[in-house]
Amino acid sequence: CGAVVSGLNIFLFFKSGVEINAPDTIVLNKGERFCLDDYIEIIGDNIVVEYSDNININKEGTYSLTVRAENDRGKLKEKNIIVTVK
């Protein structure tokens, strides 16, 4: 009588990172309502998000928007987005 014992390895992958899903460029019409949540999705757990911009939706021009997201483990992502108001 014989017994075969095989080992079982279990690999668990935890998504401990941060993802910023957003376009590289956003085009708005002058005076158009602009809500960041319509364009940007942040994925991860326990995240602090910071936005900085110089956007004036009432004046035509090209502006910049920077999104920074950091989780409680110190993983940081940053995305720069060009915003054009026409």
pLDDT of residue 57: 93
What average pLDDT does the structure give for the chain?
84
Cα of first residue to Cα of last residue in the chain, in angstroms, is: 82
Residue 45: pLDDT band by 50, 70, 90 thresholds?
A: confident
Strand residues in 1-86 grouped as ranges (E)? 19-21, 25-28, 41-43, 47-53, 61-71, 76-85
d(Cα 59, Cα 86) in Å, to the nearest integer? 8
- Residues 63 and 54: beta-carbon distance below 8 Å: yes
Token pair of 80 as six digits: 């720069």
pTM value is 0.76
